[in-house]
Amino acid sequence: MNWWEALILGLVEGLTEYLPVSSTGHLLLTEKALGLEGSDANHAYIIVIQAGAILAVLWACRPRVVQALAGLRGDSAGQALLTRLVVAFVPAAVIGFLFDDWIESHLFGLWPIAAAWFLGGVLILAVPRLRQGGVQGTSFESITLSQALVIGLAQTIAMAPGTSRSLATIAAALLVGLSAAAAVEFSFLLGVVTLTAASAYTALKSHEALATIGLANLAIGLSVAFVSAWLTVSFLLQWVKARGLAVFGWYRIALGLVVVWLLWQGHLSPT
């Protein structure tokens, strides 16, 4: 992997990790465009550089992070937030541990990813008609344990590439009645927990493969992912409050159809 390839992958990771468009799908397309697919080291690399996106959310959402850390010292509001994040995280941790190898073997192909892009786009457009709680919705401080559990169960669906963890958690949060701002913020914080676990697990499991990438390329990917993710998180918080998620639904539908056409015409390899 060259330094400019590491930079491009870091940029794509940061721009797509927290948007409801599937970072995994976009990174797979980027790998194909760069001729990097099929390498265990590259696969591990794009998971580990999620740490840059994690740091971006920690910075962008630092008041909530401080609140959660205060929970470790006995603060009641912080403890409530930590409890809800743990409840939401556990389903993905269990399912990921049990089925990670099966998912990688059966679902990491462009046909299922294109289908997930299309269906996810339809879901985004349907959410405003299906959601509970009216336009205003539940505030972040009022999130219940049952709502957190539903969001966590929805996150397990996002283990299928192309679905998007952000889409699954934000859509589920809206459907159980959270406000748009609360849905996005809780999705971001849950992402910190989930992506930290995934990145740490991959780094430990694939440290030998990662060594072939080189520290310089890892540093480039992490740095670019941090900057681009920070800009994306700041943008998404403001965009959702003002305009909703519909534009991402139409984007997913269009992208899914384009990829299906390219696969059908033989311009893309499905694996």
pLDDT tens-digit profile of 69-89? Answer: 999 998 999 999 999 999 999
What's residue 243's pLDDT? 81
Report how far Cα 82 is from the mean position of its chain's Cα atoms. Answer: 20
What's residue 153's pLDDT? 95
Residue recorded with tokens 């072939």: 212
Nearest-angstrom CA–CA distance, 33 and 21: 18
Is pLDDT at 51 greater than 70 in this prediction?
A: yes
Q: How far is CA 13 from CA 10, 16, 116, 130, in A?
A: 5, 5, 18, 30
Nearest-angstrom CA–CA distance, 237 and 182: 10
Neighbours of 77 (CB within 10 A): 12
